[in-house]
């Protein structure tokens, strides 16, 4: 029986967008690592998605986000869970891109939902807790959901269009 030729790379061919998104995820992780290596509390800065952080660009005639951010720190008890969830979602998206797979936002929720070892804490209690973290990652990485290998799916929908005219 003939042997199968080994592939030189187990990595799928990546698009330019995939390489850009992976680079952004690595930059996010590098920021955390650099803080820890300097003896500082690891943190993640998330662009603020609030009305006070937007402005109307008159020349482009569009609304743009400002530079305001919210910092999530590992050693701040009030922020530790959201910090963990943010890095978990980024890691999950990296895993999808590395594997060349795509899933729904609900699929990512189930992929990431588990009990944290040594505790009775869940990573996410509900999908409503996970969805804003996915949006935070989108904004932080300046990426669209599809670039994170995610798609929205009507949860609970039967897949048939509504022909009632509503």
Percent of the chain past pLDDT 90, that is, above it, reads 77
pLDDT tens-digit map of 120-138: 999 999 999 999 999 999 9
Q: What's the full length of the chain, in residues?
A: 166
The whole-number pLDDT of residue 69 equals 92
The whole-number pLDDT of residue 8 equals 45
pTM given for the model: 0.80
Confidence of residue 2 (pLDDT cuts 50, 70, 90): low
pLDDT at 9 over 70: no
Query: Where are the alpha helices (H) located in 4-77, listed in sequence order?
Result: 16-37
Tell me, what DSSP letter sits at residue 2? Answer: P
Confidence of residue 12 (pLDDT cuts 50, 70, 90): low
d(CA 148, CA 42): 23
- The set of long-range contacts for 130-133, using a CB threshold of 8 Å and a minimum separation of 24, is 130/85, 130/89, 130/105, 131/105, 133/82, 133/85, 133/86, 133/89
The CATH number corresponding to 16-151 among 1.20.1630.10, 3.30.70.600, 3.40.50.300, 1.10.10.10 equals 1.10.10.10
Mean of pLDDT values over 153-162: 52
The whole-number pLDDT of residue 154 equals 57
Q: Domain residues of the chain, as ranges? A: 16-151
Give the active site residues: 110
Tell me, what DSSP letter sits at residue 53? Answer: G
């Amino acid at each position: 029986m003939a042997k199968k030729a080994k592939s030189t790379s187990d990595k799928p061919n990546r698009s330019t967008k995939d390489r850009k998104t992976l680079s952004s995820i690595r930059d996010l992780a590098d920021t955390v690592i650099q803080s820890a290596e300097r003896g500082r509390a690891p943190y993640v800065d998330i662009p603020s998605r609030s009305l006070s952080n937007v402005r109307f660009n008159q020349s482009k005639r569009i609304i743009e986000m400002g530079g305001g951010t919210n910092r999530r720190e590992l050693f701040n008890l009030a922020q530790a869970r959201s910090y963990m969830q943010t890095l978990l979602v980024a890691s999950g998206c990296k895993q999808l891109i590395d594997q060349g797979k795509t899933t729904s936002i609900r699929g990512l929720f189930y992929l990431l939902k588990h009990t944290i070892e040594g505790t009775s804490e869940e990573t996410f209690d509900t999908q409503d807790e996970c969805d804003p973290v996915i949006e935070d990652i989108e904004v932080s990485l300046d990426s669209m959901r599809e670039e994170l290998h995610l798609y929205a799916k009507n949860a609970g929908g039967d897949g048939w269009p509504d022909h009632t005219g509503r």
